[in-house]
Chain A
Amino acid sequence: MSDAAELSPARRPWLSFAGLGLLGLVLLFTAFLHLGLGAKALDWTTTWQALSQYDPTNLDHAVVRDSRLARLLVAVVVGAALAVAGVLIQAITDNPLADPGILGINGGAAFFVVAGLLMVPGTDFAYLPWYAFLGAVSAAVIVALLGGRAHNPVRLTLAGAAVAALFSAMTATVLLLDQQGLEKLRHWLTGAIGAADVSKLLQVTPYLVIGLLLALSQVRSLDAHRLGARAAAGLGVNILRLKVVGLVAVVLLSGSVVAVAGPIGFVGLVVPHAVRLVVSADYRWILGYSVIVGALLVVLADLLARVAVRPYEINTGIVTAMIGGPLFIALVIRRVK
């Protein structure tokens, strides 16, 4: 057995728990920073007091409680959901380059949301997740059909890029036809956590929970699928069910995220690769770590987005693209033959 296998969580569960705990602490620390820093930097004690002894008359406390806490919550949920979606889509397509953004799923969801908001009268937020799911499903189905039956990551990725380009062109068309829509939506379109609020998050929570449960229900099948589709089928895994359930989970998770915070790319790409550096087998651990690492990544990205050019803000999706783009290129250079 190699060292990696010795360290794998199946053999040393306490090590994995320790790692998870450590990451959780890092996340807490980052979250605290996220609450304290921003257009107006607050010191540690003020931030802590805002959480422990809330004083409604104190403006600084109000900043922390009303705007930053909501934003933090959105960032955590968005990161965790996207990371799980990334793990699932990389597993079921058996493609290290897969990501809801790169495969056009976010783009499809965004197009349907924009078209729904601007072209269907009387649309309110309650419908938006459904538009997003519809868009995500249609993009996913087109890409899956194009990807073909045979296992071919490159073809799948190219098909995804084409579908993403198509949907982004159509989104731009709709926005140009409705000029007021552009002003309303341009922040949302680049992945804006700042514009999201908790009430929207609460509305998509059921979908997120269902998506997560679906993902967890397939853990055993995913573990078997790692050995290859044929071997998994030999072990009694229903491959078709795995793929369909996995895809439904991906659509629910990334569609909800798009409805709340706009299309945020590359989180689903980066997180699974980062997690695999630490845990290699067992999808229970991979999913668990992904939730924490995804949340950490998006909270960090959001922090960076708010601190980098104070008092202005960069959109979070732009920051994740800056982090994820180079990783994608490095992966292509190393992995694709």
Chain B
Amino acid sequence: MRWAAPAALRLGEFSLRFRPLDLGWILLTTLGLFAAVLAAATIGSFPLGWQQVWAGLWQPSGSGEGAMAHQVLWQLRMPRILAAMLVGACLSLAGVILQSLTRNALAAPGLIGVEAGGSVTMLMSLVLFPGLVPVYLLPLTALAGGLVVAVFILMLALRGDFSPLRLILVGIGTTAMLQAVSELLLTYGDIDRVESALMWLGGSLHKVTWTEVRVLALWFLLAGVPAMFAFRQLNLLQLGPAVASSRGLSQRRTLAVLLLASVMLTSSAVATAGTMVFVGLIGPHLARQCCGDRHGILLPLAALSGALLVLIGDTLGRWVFAPLQLPAGLVVAIVGAPYFIFLIARRREFAN
């Protein structure tokens, strides 16, 4: 089949081999993302038409009716849309990296407790010392908690005979414990603060402004973009430690750097939007259905599908019960938990 012959993209020492079909998938997801962005921009308590959105995007600022549309679009909808996409991309990328490091298709940052760890330190800083940490460094507080959990999990995962399933079960235990800690903080906070904290824990983007978008973009540039260039290392790691070291991969350092990247991505998402347990599982899994385990394509495709997932979740959450808003994370969980169940039901190692 000539049309499926792999092509190669060379850029310095990086060479990325891809198949035409991969480009098709990326194109399709990107188109879907565009459609979702347009839908998200029109839907809301102040409905806008397609033309108004289009005009509002390009006009510097209109007058009268146009000014209002411009205001809604640029002050409320655009930051929220961008933040949803960035959060989804971050979590999904973090999921792919974690899954390849542990060689475990179920290892998502939400399931193994990294998100819970991040949210505990975040809640501590929010409830106990509000205003102590500047917005740009908030991901750092989430990073501290997430990193502790991730290192603990990885140490277990790398112990000789540690099976993937035990890893997930340990994660479930860790998550339950950490949830108790966050509940502790939630039950005793001031009710107004707790309400917004519950909203935040459920994975909400309702208070996002351009500042949060900038923070997310910064962290995505710091951790996500470099991670996308690590596809060669991830491909090697997936073949197992023996093959990887025989191809000259310094495992310890690669693991440490990639784990840090994964936790950084998770933390920035958690710091902005709270916990979204299933995004890091479903985003990568959808992408894997399309292009398999070739990380050169898998990483960007997973980022795109994660972005699409959270954007759709957030838009649905705004729309279904309007004027009430559901956090995107809850919408994703209500869709994602059945999907996870479906994955478990289908896994061959459980078939007995």
Residues on A lying within 8 angstroms of B by beta carbon are: 97, 101-102, 146, 148, 150-152, 154-155, 157-159, 161-163, 165-166, 169-170, 172-173, 175-177, 179, 182-183, 186-187, 190, 265-266, 312, 314-315, 317-318, 321-322, 324-326, 328-329, 332-333, 336-337
Contacts and interface: CB of A to CB of B under 8 A. Distances in A.
B176 A336 contact: no
B191 A183 contact: yes
Interface stretch (B14-22, B39-47, B241-249, B322-330): B322-330
Nearest to A266: B176
B169 A186 contact: no
Contacts of A179: 195
26 contacts: A148-B345, A148-B352, A154-B350, A158-B172, A159-B344, A162-B337, A162-B338, A163-B337, A165-B278, A165-B340, A166-B334, A169-B202, A173-B326, A176-B199, A177-B326, A315-B183, A315-B184, A318-B184, A321-B177, A321-B180, A325-B176, A328-B173, A329-B174, A332-B169, A332-B170, A337-B163
A146 B344 contact: yes
A177 to B, nearest CB: 6
A174 B324 CA distance: 11
Contact of A159 (B179, B194, B341): B341
Contact of B166 (A155, A169, A265, A336): A336
Contacts of B337: 162-163, 165-166, 169
Contacts of A148: 345, 350, 352
Q: Determine chain B's interface SS by DSSP, over half rule.
A: helix
A315 B341 contact: no
Contact of B334 (A161, A173, A183): A173
B174 A169 contact: no
Contacts of B106: 158
A336 B163 contact: yes
Nearest to B194: A186
10 residue pairs, one from A and one from B, having the closest CB atoms: A325-B177, A321-B180, A166-B337, A169-B333, A150-B352, A328-B173, A329-B173, A332-B169, A155-B350, A318-B180
A166 B180 contact: no
Contacts of B170: 329, 332-333
Contacts of B169: 97, 154, 157-158, 332, 336
Interface in B167-207: 168-170, 172-174, 176-177, 179-181, 183-184, 186-188, 191, 194-195, 198-199, 202
A176 B184 contact: no
Interface string B274-304: 0001100000000000000000000000000
B168 to A, nearest CB: 7
A176 B327 contact: yes
B156 interface: yes
Given A162-B344, A169-B330, A321-B180, A176 B202 contact: yes
Contacts of B186: 186
A157 B327 contact: no
A101 B330 CA distance: 20
Given A146-B344, A176-B330, A321-B176, 15 more contacts: A101-B176, A151-B352, A158-B169, A162-B337, A165-B278, A166-B337, A176-B199, A182-B198, A183-B191, A187-B187, A321-B179, A322-B180, A325-B173, A328-B173, A328-B176
A161 B171 CA distance: 11
A166 B329 CA distance: 12
Nearest to A161: B172
B321 interface: yes
A140 to B, nearest CB: 15
A172 B188 contact: no
A130 B268 CA distance: 43
A136 to B, nearest CB: 18
Nearest to B178: A325
Nearest to A334: B166
Among the interface residues A172, A183, A186, A266, which one has the most CB atoms of the partner chain B within 10 A?
Answer: A172
B52 to A, nearest CB: 30
Contacts of A315: 183-184, 187
Contacts of A177: 321, 324, 326
B222 interface: no
A189 to B, nearest CB: 8
A152 B352 CA distance: 8
B5 interface: no
A318 B183 contact: yes
B344 A175 contact: no
B177 A173 contact: no
Nearest to A149: B352
Nearest to A319: B180
B28 interface: no
A325 B176 CA distance: 7
